[in-house]
């Protein structure tokens, strides 16, 4: 699994802490972690939580990432930004139980954390425990056991609904405000990480067009 980490501007100073805790857990499973920034509070490429959603959608729909970890002050904005796009199912994670149940019941491909609200003493420990529960077992197993069948059925229904209610990512990238979309993909390491792992040439070409504007 290839996991992408995305931080928006208000919580960018915590990027190295979040990356460190995520990588500790990912390494135990043999997963790769790509850090798309922001890397610090003074990172020249400022990303809003809306742009976190754009970037998450590009990475997931193109196959450049299998899973996205993001967040903001409360985690709510980043979750909404991600869920505005096709191919992204993002959960709001506050504690380890949230992480486990989102993985097992909803089997989504992105999570948004509150990196300010409630992020006090021992926050890095709670963060590590959440990552551990999130990736503990294969997603979609269901919880509790007697609810496995309806939960898996509902996941398939939601996937089908999303296919009807969302347009394709290339069309979206062409119609978004160019400055907003370009800002999402202008990070210092974006091109290095994205083009090395992208599996969809149409999305790659749409991103190249954005970067050229």
CATH number at residue 78: 3.40.1400.10
Q: Is the dihedral of CA 146, 147, 150, 153 positive or negative?
A: negative
- Based on the structure, what is the number of domains in the chain? 1
**Beta strand 110-114 pairing with 90-92:** parallel
Across-strand partners of 3?
A: 33, 67
Quickly count: other Cβ atoms within 10 Å of residue 104's Cβ: 21
CA triple 168-113-89, angle to 5 deg: 25
- Taking alpha carbons only, the member of 46, 13, 49, 10 closest to residue 188 is 46
Contact between residue 25 and residue 62 where contact means Cβ atoms under 8 Å apart: no
Range of the domain at 116: 2-212
Q: Is 132:97 a contact under the CB 8 Å cutoff?
A: no
Give the residue among 6, 121, 128, 139 at the shortest CA–CA distance from 75: 6
Distance CA 152, CA 212 (A): 42
Whole-prediction pTM: 0.95
Residue-by-residue pLDDT tens, the chain, 213 positions = 999 999 999 999 999 999 999 999 999 999 999 999 999 999 999 999 999 999 999 999 999 999 999 999 999 999 999 999 999 999 999 999 999 999 999 999 999 999 999 999 999 999 999 999 999 999 999 999 899 999 999 999 999 999 999 999 999 999 999 999 999 999 999 999 999 999 999 999 999 999 998
CB under 8 Å to 33, separation ≥6 — which residues? 2, 3, 4, 5, 19, 22, 23, 26
* DSSP reduced 3-state for 206: helix
Angle at 77 between CA 75 and CA 79, to 5 degrees: 65
The pLDDT value recorded for residue 177 is 96
Q: Which residue bears the tokens 């529960």?
A: 133
């Amino acid at each position: 699994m290839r996991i992408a980490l995305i931080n928006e501007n208000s919580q960018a100073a915590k990027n190295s802490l979040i990356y460190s805790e995520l990588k500790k857990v990912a390494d135990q499973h043999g997963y790769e972690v790509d850090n798309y920034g922001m890397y610090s509070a003074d990172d020249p490429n400022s990303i809003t939580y809306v742009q976190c959603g754009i970037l998450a959608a590009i990475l997931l729909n193109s196959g450049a990432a299998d899973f996205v970890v993001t967040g903001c002050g409360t985690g709510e904005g980043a979750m909404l930004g991600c869920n505005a796009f096709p191919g992204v199912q993002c959960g709001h994670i506050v504690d380890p139980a949230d992480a486990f149940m989102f993985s097992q019941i909803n089997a989504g491909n992105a999570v948004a954390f509150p990196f300010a609200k409630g992020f006090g003493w021992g926050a890095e420990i709670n963060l590590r425990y959440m990552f551990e529960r999130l990736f503990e077992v294969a997603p979609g197993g269901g919880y509790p056991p007697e609810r496995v069948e309806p939960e898996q059925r509902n996941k398939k229904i939601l996937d089908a609904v999303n296919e009807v209610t969302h347009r394709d990512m290339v069309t979206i990238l062409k119609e978004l405000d160019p400055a907003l979309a370009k800002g999402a993909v202008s990070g210092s390491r974006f091109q290095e990480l994205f083009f090395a792992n992208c599996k969809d040439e149409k999305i790659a070409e749409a991103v190249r067009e954005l970067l050229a504007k």
